[in-house]
Amino acid sequence: MKKLVLTIASFLIMSSFVQTFAQVREESKEMSMGTRNALVIEIPGVDDKLAAEVWKSYTKDFYNSKTKWDRKKNEWVTADADIVALGMGNDLSLYATIDEKKDNVVFSLWIDLGNSFVNSQDMPERYEEAEKLVMRYALELAQAKIKLDIREEEKNLEKMEDELKKLVGTQERYEREIEKAKEAIKKAEENIVENKKEQIDQAERIKEQKKVIEQIRKKLNDL
């Protein structure tokens, strides 16, 4: 059931994501090797930490390549990547930056073929493949965010269920206390009935005692 919910949620959110936000654009941007053509996409509702984690796993899982953070360049570098549709049999290098922008991240990717960078004007077919690469990454990131959201909501659900269990337990305790109180009331009512009988009996004994006293006084007066 959870898997079905995840699948439906993923489809709906990713469809909206693609149509509304995830549009790849080409920009001439500054990077460690100068100003080069980059593929840029703004991805909503994620932070740079998650975006970086997904980018590392994405390049590893899809292209069997290792991505490292270069502190000097302030870039994520994937060296000697074997991406057939882009390199055409030759290794290439990927350079990426991930910048937070309010609640979104801006992902920029430069693809170094060795003697040039992928761009739409000189190599439209490769650029189209590069767009697909970026879009697949964006969808992977959207899925990862959905899974995180689901886990978070599942934690909230567990907390709610625990609170419900506590409330049910409290209700059961109250009900036990009510039953005890009912038994105590019933016992008290029985005691009241018995007490009234004892009061009547005691009143009769008092009445008889008064008669005895009167008889003794009469004897005293008769002397």
Delimit the domains of the chain by residue range.
Answer: 2-154
User: What would the pLDDT profile of 124-170 be if each residue is shown by its tens digit?
Assistant: 999 999 999 999 999 999 999 999 999 999 999 999 999 999 999 99
What percent of the chain clears pLDDT 90, i.e. is strictly above it?
A: 78
**What is the pLDDT averaged over residues 82-91?**
88
Q: Which residue has the higher pLDDT, 139 or 88?
A: 139
The pLDDT assigned to 210 comes to: 93
CATH, range 2-154: 3.30.310
52-80: average pLDDT: 95
Q: How confident is the model at residue 19 (pLDDT cuts 50, 70, 90)?
A: low
Please tell me the distance from the alpha carbon of residue 100 to that of residue 70, in angstroms, as a whole number.
18
Q: pLDDT grade, residue 56 (50/70/90)?
A: very high
pLDDT in the model for residue 94: 98
pLDDT tens sequence across 169-191 = 999 999 999 999 999 999 999 99
Burial 176-191 (b: 16+ CB within 10 A, else e): eeeeeeeeeeeeeeee
